[in-house]
Structure 1
Amino acid sequence: MTLPARLVPLLDTFDFGRKRLADRLAGPVVDSGNGTDVPVGPLTDEEYLWEPVPDCWSVRRHADGPGERATRLDGSGPWGRDAAPHPHPVPPPFTTLAWRLTHLTELLALRADHTTGTRTLTREDFPVPGDATTALKAFDAAADAWRATLLTADDAVLDTVGHSAYPYGGDAEERFVDVVWWVNQELLHHGAEIALLRDLHLHHHRARPA
């Protein structure tokens, strides 16, 4: 199928943001933005779960219960992600790299399912990774699923309100093209947050005395 012309730049943006984030997390290098390769080590478990300030929201073992100001842990398996019902705490808790990456992965996986899949998956069904290696594989699989969903869209689909039935956003009231745009901005802004957390972790540990 020939992609609709207006989907092409959105797909290109998704591919760019995905590769940039994947490279930033796994290395061995990431493009600095001017074509220069900057060495990047692979994400470690310690970094994945690092809490740079007190009372972060993160991913935790269900057996340990939710963190400060969270009321539940979303996700299946041994691990879950800190959460609370609306209205969320004010100011919002600072979230770890693990929280942000699993949030983004869940968003991609569930939106793919609620667009071209079973339309049944919930946050309680989503397995939350407790380690960096599993988290990177889960992100890659979720990004593949969302990209495959985009490749099924023609112009009629892009204009269809409620084509995505994702239950944790406004998708039921939005044209699919607007949902695609929204997912891109989620990828880009969470990717930037994750990159900054990697920088903070690196320099924080360099600054600590031996």
Structure 2
Amino acid sequence: MTTNERLQPLLEQYDWATERLESRLAGPTSNSGDGNDVEVPALTDAEYLWEPVAACWSVRKRTDGPGPGATKLIGAGEWGRDGAPESPWPPPLTTIAWRLDHLSETLSGRSNHLGGDRTFDRATYESCPDAAGAVARFREAAADWRRVLIGVDESDYDRTGLSSYPYGSDADETFLTIAWWENQEILHHGAEIALLRDLYVHRAQ
């Protein structure tokens, strides 16, 4: 399938951002930005759940309840992600687990509500308690979203509300705007995750 020239720059940015984040999470190497590969250890469970400051939002056992400042644990299953009816301001610092879970949930949900049967419901989404499972889920969700992106007909690029994902502004946005938004989500959360990985290595022992 030939990608339309309007989508191509967004798709190239998406591919770069997801590959960069996946390699930064799973290793064994990641591009340093200057063309050289550096060794990167795979994300561990301890690092995945590390809370560098008090009152972090994270992914938690449901039996432990939500963390400080959160009022609920999003999703179903034994683990959930800290949340609240309204996003607090200033926003809480979040763990790698929270950020990665948030990315995977939005990618999976938007894939389903744009190119699937539109049955995805956040209430039944299950968070991963471990790093390996979370990285694998992100990889799968990222692949699903890419498949949906290239499957959208060019005639629908400017259509408002093509995605029915109910946990964002999708009803008021065009397809290309949603594609751009998912890119910036991966770029900025990916950068945050990379910084948390660096801080974890240099944390006080």
Shorter-chain TM band: over 0.9
**Aligned counterpart, 1:100:** 99
Report SS of the residue matched to 1:124.
helix
**Aligned counterpart, 2:68:** 68
* CA–CA separation in structure 2 for the residues paired with 1:10 and 1:72: 34
TM-score (norm. length: structure 1):
0.95
Query: How far does residue 123 in structure 1 lie from its aligned partner after superposition?
Result: 1.3
Aligned length: 205
Matches within 5 A, 1:10-159: 10-86=10-86, 88-159=87-158
* CA–CA separation in structure 1 for the residues paired with 2:189 and 2:73: 20
Matches within 5 A, 1:126-205: 126-204=125-203
* CA–CA separation in structure 1 for the residues paired with 2:151 and 2:167: 22
1:69-111: per-residue Cα shift (whole Å, max 9, x none)? 111000121100000011x323221110100010011010000
Do the aligned residues in 2 keep the contact of 1:3 with 1:154 (CA within 8 Å)? no
Query: How far does residue 117 in structure 1 lie from its aligned partner after superposition?
Result: 0.8
Report SS of the residue matched to 2:122.
coil
Query: How far does residue 189 in structure 1 lie from its aligned partner after superposition?
Result: 0.5
Do the aligned residues in 2 keep the contact of 1:4 with 1:154 (CA within 8 Å)? no
Query: How far does residue 154 in structure 1 lie from its aligned partner after superposition?
Result: 2.4
Report SS of the residue matched to 2:113.
helix
Report SS of the residue matched to 1:186.
helix
Query: How far does residue 160 in structure 1 lie from its aligned partner after superposition?
Result: 1.1
**Aligned counterpart, 2:7:** 7
Report SS of the residue matched to 1:151.
helix
- Runs of 4 or more off by more than 2 Å in structure 1? 88-91
What's the C-alpha RMSD, in Å, of the aligned pairs?
0.9
* CA–CA separation in structure 1 for the residues paired with 2:180 and 2:35: 26
1:157-182: per-residue Cα shift (whole Å, max 9, x none)? 21111111111111111110111011
* CA–CA separation in structure 1 for the residues paired with 2:170 and 2:92: 26
Report SS of the residue matched to 2:110.
helix
Do the aligned residues in 2 keep the contact of 1:3 with 1:153 (CA within 8 Å)? no
Query: How far does residue 118 in structure 1 lie from its aligned partner after superposition?
Result: 1.5
Identity %: 55
The 10-residue stretch of structure 1 (44-53 or 157-166) with the greater mean CA deviation from structure 2 = 157-166
Give the letter for the 1:179 counterpart: I
1:109-165: per-residue Cα shift (whole Å, max 9, x none)? 000000011112121121100000100111011001100001112221211111111
In structure 2, runs of 5+ residues without a counterpart are none
* CA–CA separation in structure 1 for the residues paired with 2:28 and 2:50: 21
* CA–CA separation in structure 2 for the residues paired with 1:91 and 1:161: 31
* CA–CA separation in structure 1 for the residues paired with 2:63 and 2:120: 23
Query: How far does residue 3 in structure 1 lie from its aligned partner after superposition?
Result: 1.6
